[in-house]
Amino acid sequence: DGVRGLVESHLPRHRGVRVTDEEGRVVVELHLAVDWGVSIPALGREVQQRVAGYLERMADVHPASIDVVVDEIGPA
């Protein structure tokens, strides 16, 4: 729980953000709503890169995975 607590202190507690510690490996799951017409694969990659970079800089944590789940697609 130490690594998980460290990561959670740097990621805001919002609905749709889940951080778990699986055998010492940090796993981040993000649930998003996106606008119609947005490239979901490109957005997913950008979110993964930004979250990974942020956690590495701010908490010296290298997540095992950052999973991006699109729950909703709405009007732009």
**pLDDT of 15 strictly over 90:** no
Q: Which domain holds residue 66?
A: 2-74
- Answer yes or no: are the C-beta atoms of 28 and 63 closer than 8 Å: yes
Give residue 31's pLDDT: 92
Give residue 75's pLDDT: 86
Q: Which of 4-8, 17-21, 42-46, 71-75 shows the lowest mean pLDDT across its residues? A: 4-8
Give residue 2's pLDDT: 57
Average pLDDT, the chain: 85
Domains identified in the chain, total number: 1
User: pLDDT tier at 21 (50, 70, 90 boundaries)?
Assistant: confident
Q: How far is CA 10 from CA 4, 45, 52, 66, in A?
A: 10, 20, 12, 15
How far is residue 22's CA from residue 2's CA, in Å, rounded to a whole number? 12
**68-65-29-44 Cα dihedral, nearest 10 degrees:** -10
Q: In the structure encoding, which two tokens stand for residue 37, read together? A: 């017409």
Q: What CATH number does the domain containing 67 carry?
A: 3.30.70
